[in-house]
Structure 1
Amino acid sequence: MTTPLLELRDVGKTFGNVIALDGISTSVRAGEVTCVLGDNGAGKSTLIKILSGVHRPDRGELLLDGSPVEWAAPREALDAGIATVYQDLAMIPLMAVWRNFFLGRELTKGWGPLRRFDSAQARRVTTQALGDMGIDIRDPDQPVGTLSGGERQSVAIARAVHFGARVLILDEPTSALGVRQAGVVLRYIAQARDRGVGVVFITHNPHHAFPVGDRFLLLGRGRSLGDFAKGEITQEEVTRLMAGGAELDQLTHELQRPPV
């Protein structure tokens, strides 16, 4: 087994008396998708912020390529190749696709007081990078706000891969999408995986996670319900663990129609 790109060992985080995470361990390997599943309040957002350098864990270790690391700021994590795509995508709807692609990483030409944004090169690189991921955007000059939800997610994924992401963290990328658009995003997650990127797919939907996932970390109220390789658990078992098996059985019993 190769050394994981990113690994959590017994990580915990508290905010006052609130236990956000307690004893969480998992790993992210190159060319694999680690799915983090949990309902609202399970600790998914806190986990994202620890991986991306927003929060430091109170206990446990975060390892990069087998060596312990402590991010002082999100920029350090980004410079190390840990890219996070949040639900809001960090895009400006009225700006063109190519302008959003280079937002914060502007290509320039010239020097000194004549240094300026190289818009022509930015358009070419954006079109090429999207094409390399199999993403067909009608016009790179169109505002991002005119794209569908799935297209915006695909642009954000392609942007992270283009700028050298080794680990790509996706925060609920399919939560607000219809069936067809969710399928589009899952296809691009698989493409990022096949390019050797380690993907962390945060979701509350086992039906979206299971087709692309290689490892599944299940969270419940900040604690691990299990960390499984794909061959160790079925989609039905994932659903039961997330819902609480006994509670789900009780609900099913309550909802059954009485015999006529």
Structure 2
Amino acid sequence: MTAPLLEVSGLNGWYGAAHILRDIALNVGPGEVVALMGRNGAGKSTTLKAIAGLLARSSGEVACMGRSIAGWPAFRIARLGLGYVPEDRRIFTDLTVRENLEVGRQPPRHWPDGSAAPHWTPERLFTLFPNLGEMPDRLGGRMSGGEQQMLSVARTLMGQPLLVLLDEPSEGVAPLIVEQMAQTILALKDQGIGILLSEQNLPFCEAVADRAYVLEKGQICYASSMAELQDNLAVRQAYLGI
């Protein structure tokens, strides 16, 4: 059995005195897309931030590529090969597309077994994201929301991640961009990259995800294959409002 790229157990998280995450446990394997689903405020984004080392106060065990990263600063986690695409994109609006990509550049990586991992270059990313290839010198602030979302993903890939945390990639973008984002996720999956996807869009998750965890009030209340979630109307109505 192939070892997971990400293993989380007993993960708790706080914003000030508010206890937001309660004993989260999940895992993501190589070439696997795992959806983290739930309503607004369920704790999806907070879970990603806690894994990436961006939550000020958290506890529990988080292992990435077989190494415990609990308590590590975010920059050290990123250097290990974990990429994070935030919901609010956070591109540099006064830099061009190509300059934004260069900001994210890290050296090539290897999988835990020593084999070469996918190596992303601007040219290769322009093939994956043709829209970006048509505007390498455009300033980030002059791009549409969907184009900025693609640039945020592409910049993260310049960090050569083995595992990507992807927060709400379909939110607030045009249907064509949502379709392109789904194709991108499937392309990354084919490369062996693991993806933990925070998302509310059930059809999007059905198109890309292998498994799903459903969050409610900071706790995992349901876990199954994506196909089983599709067939479970009671769970979808109770926790996803569908």
TM-score tier by shorter-chain length is 0.7 to 0.9
* Whole-angstrom CA distance in 1 between matches of 2:213 and 2:29: 14
Q: 2:128 aligns with which of 118, 127, 133?
A: 133
Is residue 45 from structure 1 mapped to residue 41 from structure 2 by the alignment? no
Preserved CA contact (<8 Å) 1:4 1:28: yes
Superposition CA RMSD, Å: 2.4
- The structure that has the greater radius of gyration is 1
Shift of residue 221 of structure 1? Answer: 0.7
* Deviation sequence 1:85-142 (CA, Å, 0-9, x none): 11232212232110111126499xxxxxxxxxxxxxxxxx52x132342534213112
CA–CA separation in structure 1 for the residues paired with 2:70 and 2:60: 11
Q: Separation in 1 of the partners of 2:17 and 2:158?
A: 41
1:58 and 1:163 map into 2 onto residues whose CA distance is 25
Shift of 1:81: 0.7
1:150 touches 1:185 (CA, 8 Å); kept in 2?
no
Q: For residue 220 of structure 2, what is the amino acid of its counterpart?
A: S
The unaligned stretches of length 5 or more in structure 1 are 108-124, 249-260
- Per-residue deviation, 1:220: 0.6
Aligned to 1:143: 139
Q: 1:50 to 1:105 in 2, by over 3 A?
A: same
Give the superposition deviation at 1:66: 3.4
The separation in 2 between residues aligned to 1:58 and 1:162, in whole angstroms, is 28
Give the match for residue 111 of structure 2: none
Distance 1:86 1:14 in 2: 19
Q: Look up the match of 1:222.
A: 218
Shift of 1:165: 0.5
For structure 2, the 5+ residue unaligned runs are 108-120
> Contact 2:94 / 2:140 at 8 angstroms: preserved in 1?
yes
1:118-170 per-residue CA deviation (whole Å, 9 max, x = no partner) reads: xxxxxxx52x1323425342131122233333332222222322321111111
CA distance 1:129–1:18, shift in 2 (3 Å): same
Give the count of matched residue pairs: 227
Identical-residue share of aligned pairs (%): 27
